[in-house]
Structure 1
Amino acid sequence: MTLKYLIQFYRNTLLIGVVVTYISSLVFGYDKVTKYLFAGDIGNFIAASVWFVVVGLLVATISQLAYFIYLFINQLGIGIFGKIWPHVQIVVTIFAIFDLVYFRFLRFGGTDQILSFIWLPIVVIIFAIITSNVKNKQSKKNLWIPSMFFMIVMTTVELIPFLRVEDTSWIYLTIFGLLLCNAYQLITLPKFNALSLEERKTKKLNKENGMKSK
């Protein structure tokens, strides 16, 4: 990818992270942001808004780093496991779904609270299925398994710092930003790669024409 489109790719991801996280803060972080607006405390509302814009930037950056790590892991997995790599991805994905419930339940839950932890993997799986179906339609290859792997496993990894926090609101504040940033990157990367290829071809053609004119 050329620098021009890499910057656009990263900028758009940042924008999604900021907008989605900020909207989530207004809805799920009432005590942290919205209450100041209704109370007429504009100073604290602006300060809280700036804070969640920064959180949105962090969410988008984590998503971006995770995506490029995934690209490396995918190539490494193909090199090590070969044809059985898709099966390895399925097993790891199943474990990640289990961990989304068990990791937080083990730390904070009780036997009567297990249902309150199931919503998270359900949301992640729904996003993963929708994104994987869209991604699969983009290519002649079957990309459903690697797409599910990225959307579930890497999202789980991204959520680990927030799963360790007892305040559940932080999961609500970050999960949607992470999922939408992940989905955007997975779906739009081929577009930016194609634009980068066209840019290189145009530069090469202009260079050749310039040499001929001399």
Structure 2
Amino acid sequence: MTLNSRKLVYLFFTTLVIGAAAGTITGVLLDTETYFSGGFLNFLFGTLWMFGICAAISLVAQMGFFAYLTFHRLALGLFKSVRLWNWVQAVLVVFVFFDLIYLRYIAFASEDETLWGYMVMPVLLLVFSLIVAYQKQKETNKETFLSALFFMYVITTIEWIPALTVNAVNESKWLWIYLAPLLTANTWQLLTLHRLTREPNKK
């Protein structure tokens, strides 16, 4: 398995563009009045501004991905067992899922908000993460499922923290705008890395 400089540059720029584009499209769709009500220049500069912000978020996703790869190797050495490390990752996924729903509800909910309003995004994120983890397992092997799920759910949530200080119900626009490039970039990186490092004679 090798990742030469050409492949690394390819992964970097494709992740940057794909993540930024996904965030920009999300931002425009969530606030069409702002982008389309002021003429072409307003749309152009507004879109470029959003693309720049989402590109920066995409860079965060890339740093998180390579940090996780390093952390994953260290954890395997620490626990001396893939099975034990997988159990730890599974527990952390459950903890983060609980944290995203209940603890955020306790911290930010007003009197007229219910717990249900804080469940939508964590549940959708979990479902998406399960789908990506399944695809990773399908393209590689069954041992990668929990690691992929951990990366997509826990690491994405950590990268998402700057936006999570916003009220999830009343001010959700920036939550989605921040999450879109993170999810897209992380999905692309996770499903592309093994293809780039695969030996040429293997399918």
Q: TM-score, normalised by structure 1?
A: 0.83
Corresponding residue number in structure 2 for 1:151: 152
Cα pair 1:36 1:42 within 8 Å, conserved: no
Cα pair 1:70 1:150 within 8 Å, conserved: yes
1:37 is displaced (CA, Å) by 4.3
The one-letter amino acid of 1:171's match is: L
Corresponding residue number in structure 1 for 2:75: 77
Corresponding residue number in structure 2 for 1:190: 194
Consecutive aligned runs of 4 or more in structure 1 exceeding 4 Å deviation: none
Counting matched residue pairs gives 192
Cα pair 2:35 2:47 within 8 Å, conserved: no
**Contiguous gaps of at least 5 residues in structure 1:** 199-214
Q: TM-score, normalised by structure 2?
A: 0.87
Deviations 1:122-143 (A, max 9, x none): 1111111111111001223421
Identical amino acids, percent of aligned pairs: 29
Cα pair 2:35 2:46 within 8 Å, conserved: no
Corresponding residue number in structure 2 for 1:48: 46
Q: Choose 107-116 or 168-177, whichever is displaced more.
A: 107-116
Higher helix share: 1
**Contiguous gaps of at least 5 residues in structure 2:** none
The one-letter amino acid of 1:186's match is: L
- Please tell me whether Structure 1 or Structure 2 has the larger radius of gyration of its CA atoms: 1
1:3 aligned to which of 2, 5, 10: 5
Q: Distance in 2 between matches of 1:62 and 1:46?
A: 25
1:26 is displaced (CA, Å) by 1.2
Deviations 1:58-79 (A, max 9, x none): 1211111111111111111111
Deviations 1:68-101 (A, max 9, x none): 1111111111111122111111111111111222
Is 1:171 matched with 2:172? no
> CA RMSD, aligned part only?
1.7
